[in-house]
Amino acid sequence: MKLLLVSLQSNAYVTGLKYIAANAKDKGHDVRILFLPGYLEPELSPAIEGFIAEYSPDLIGISLMSIEFYPAKNLARLLKNRFDIPIIWGGVHTIIKPEECIRYSDYVCTGEGEHAVVSLLEHLGDRGRDVPPEIPGIWTNHNGEIIRQPPALPENDLDTLPLQEYLPDYFYGFHNSRIYNFSENEGVFRMYALYGGTCHMMITTRGCPFKCSYCGNSAFLAVYGRKIRERSVENVMAEIRQVVKNPFVLYINFQDDCFFTHSRQWIREFCREYKRHVGLPFIARVIPTMMDREKMLMLREAGLCWIVMGIQSGSDRVNFDIYDRKIRFESVKKAADIIAETGAAPFYEMIVDNPYETEQDTMDTISAVSTLKKPYIVSLAHLTFFPGTPLAEKAIKDEIVTPDAYLYRYLLNIEDTYFNRLLAITPCIPRALAAYLNKPAKTRRPMHVSLVNVLFFIVKRAVEPAVFLFVTVRSLNYRPDWIIRTILGNWRSTLSRLVSKYLGRADLEFDQRLSLARKNMPELFER
């Protein structure tokens, strides 16, 4: 059987699809992955149509986050107009909103897809489309009748899953009206890959120990439970040792919600094996209250360069009462002090545009962030009310947002406000200056606004890139070979962020296409 898996996201980070593809291939099926970033054209491109006609898949899988709902709806419509091939939707949005997704597809996957998709392929091969499958985790749209199956149990032994590849030879992408095999055209792949393709994105665990009210993880608890499932060190190293054979891979980017959920014994064994067999710099994520100095020192010595930590808000009231995130800023400062001690490059994530946040909360956040040890980088994200989350349900009840507001805006497209600009530049200006500018609207003067605007332009175009370069160089232990490769591999993504205010180029283009489609194809957005 032939399986075509389609990604509509704005970058070529498709770890989930790679795992599904690897498992399908391991079970004897033929697989291709097709990258169609934010496809919102009114007609199917001849190149895409020809590619699908030539491959003639038995099943097409479309993966979508919530922001990709309308591109998925559009693509499914175009494919059904041209081909008689069953379509399954999967990904985060189908887990959160299966009732909505099944209206536009033949099947939806309501959980992890590795086993469910293979079972569906085998069902189609053995019994065909006319017999609705009885597969846990698969819903069927059978001639307009919705047939729901119970959720599938999550895979607890992650070591049983086949390893994903960095750049498989069955990975294709749509670029300039043509279809390219990415493994044969790595230059094209790097244009869409995060960090210029210098990173291999992977996970060593599934699950998150927190259930923050704004996060999709809070809606996943009913599907996956709260248990953190982890891969063995041996299994993780087997993937990495295959990946680093590609000479362009400079970093390993661990996408776990919190890499520090691993025990000290696991971390110790991982660091020993990583230093012995890999030795490349790597990136990991940490939750402030789970920071462990001993683990951090071991990881840093093994090659940890960048560490990503979610702060979300500097206001304890916001984190506790609104986000249900029981982390005081005092814990953030302690974790940040440990990061600063090790010389790793800190990347702190913040949520802005929160309608439940008062002006004083925002000022408290700026004051708090300004106390963190420099240098560090902050990333701002627009608060998105994802369906099924407690915060979204509250906001809809309070008539603050419409139930479908999350479908129209990319989360990095934040409001261009005084406080957002000030928060963005706070890591790069003196603490006293940040305090001087941190004023409520009623006492703010035109000179404050003008100064923030001027500083924002200077910081985003010159100071922040310099800070970014410095913390990166320091985190790489001033190794000239790593530094040169990092600059050469990331110049496109860095340049795009200098040109725009907050978004990377691919994100910005996706957001613009979505807005344009709402004007040109209003029927697509009818619910």
The contacts of residue 250 (CB under 8 Å, 6+ apart) are 198, 199, 280, 281, 482, 485, 486, 489
What whole-number distance in Å separates Cα of residue 426 and Cα of residue 430?
Answer: 8
State pTM to two decimals.
0.92
Confidence label for 166 from pLDDT (cuts 50, 70 and 90) = very high
Q: Are 486 and 354 in contact (CB under 8 A)?
A: no
Closest by Cα among 156, 160, 152, 161 to 133: 152
The pLDDT value given to residue 490: 61
Q: Which residue has the tokens 């995060």?
A: 194
What whole-number distance in Å separates Cα of residue 107 and Cα of residue 47?
Answer: 26
In the three-class reduction of DSSP (H, G, I as helix; E, B as strand; rest coil), residue 233 is classed as helix
The pLDDT value given to residue 259: 97
**Token digits for 178?**
């043509």
The pLDDT value given to residue 496: 43
What is the end-to-end Cα distance of the chain in Å, rounded?
Answer: 34
Q: Are 330 and 361 in contact (CB under 8 A)?
A: no
What whole-number distance in Å separates Cα of residue 190 and Cα of residue 490?
Answer: 9
C-alpha distances out from residue 456 to 351, 425, 508, Å? 19, 6, 19
What whole-number distance in Å separates Cα of residue 298 and Cα of residue 273?
Answer: 12
What does the pLDDT look like over 264-294, one tens digit per residue? 999 999 999 999 999 899 999 999 999 999 9
- Give the 3-state secondary structure of 262-302: CCHHHHHHHHHHHHHHCCCCEEEEECHHHCCHHHHHHHHHH
What does the pLDDT look like over 447-488, one tens digit per residue? 999 999 999 999 998 999 899 889 999 999 888 887 887 777
DSSP 8-state class, residue 169: T
Helix (H) or strand (E) holding 308: strand 304-312
What whole-number distance in Å separates Cα of residue 78 and Cα of residue 80?
Answer: 6
My answer on whether omega of the bond before 375 falls inside 30° of 0, hence cis, is yes
What does the pLDDT look like over 393-410, one tens digit per residue? 999 999 999 888 888 777
In the three-class reduction of DSSP (H, G, I as helix; E, B as strand; rest coil), residue 468 is classed as helix
The pLDDT value given to residue 37: 92
Confidence label for 499 from pLDDT (cuts 50, 70 and 90) = very low
Q: Which residues pair with 252 in a beta bridge?
A: 200, 282
Closest by Cα among 90, 75, 85, 99 to 521: 75
For the cut 90, the answer to whether the pLDDT of residue 526 exceeds it is no
The contacts of residue 392 (CB under 8 Å, 6+ apart) are 214, 385, 386, 401, 406
What whole-number distance in Å separates Cα of residue 348 and Cα of residue 351?
Answer: 10
Helix (H) or strand (E) holding 140: strand 138-142
Backbone angles phi, psi at 315, to 5 degrees: -95, 120
Please name each of the domains of the chain with its CATH number. Answer: 2-158 (3.40.50.280), 194-442 (3.80.30.20)
Helix (H) or strand (E) holding 174: strand 171-175
Q: Are 87 and 76 in contact (CB under 8 A)?
A: yes
Return the sign of the alpha-carbon dihedral for residues 164, 251, 295, 376: negative
Q: Are 367 and 423 in contact (CB under 8 A)?
A: no
The pLDDT value given to residue 480: 85
What does the pLDDT look like over 187-236, one tens digit per residue? 999 888 888 888 899 999 998 888 899 987 767 776 777 789 999 999 99
Residue type, 179: I
For the cut 70, the answer to whether the pLDDT of residue 58 exceeds it is yes
Residue 408, burial from CB neighbour count under 10 angstroms (0-12, 13-18, 19+): middle
What whole-number distance in Å separates Cα of residue 513 and Cα of residue 521?
Answer: 11
**Ranges of H-type helices in 64-110:** 69-82, 92-96, 98-101
Q: What angle do CA 127, 131, 134 make, to 5 degrees?
A: 95
Helix (H) or strand (E) holding 370: none
Confidence label for 257 from pLDDT (cuts 50, 70 and 90) = very high
What whole-number distance in Å separates Cα of residue 99 and Cα of residue 103?
Answer: 7
State the average pLDDT over residues 99-117. Answer: 96
The contacts of residue 498 (CB under 8 Å, 6+ apart) are 460, 461, 465
What's the Rg (C-alpha) of the chain?
A: 23
**Token digits for 476?**
């790489």
Closest by Cα among 322, 520, 255, 517 to 407: 517
State the average pLDDT over residues 91-114. Answer: 94
The pLDDT value given to residue 489: 63
For the cut 50, the answer to whether the pLDDT of residue 497 exceeds it is no
Higher pLDDT, 194 or 343: 343
Q: Are 368 and 329 in contact (CB under 8 A)?
A: yes
What does the pLDDT look like over 355-398, one tens digit per residue? 999 999 999 999 999 999 999 999 999 999 988 889 999 999 99
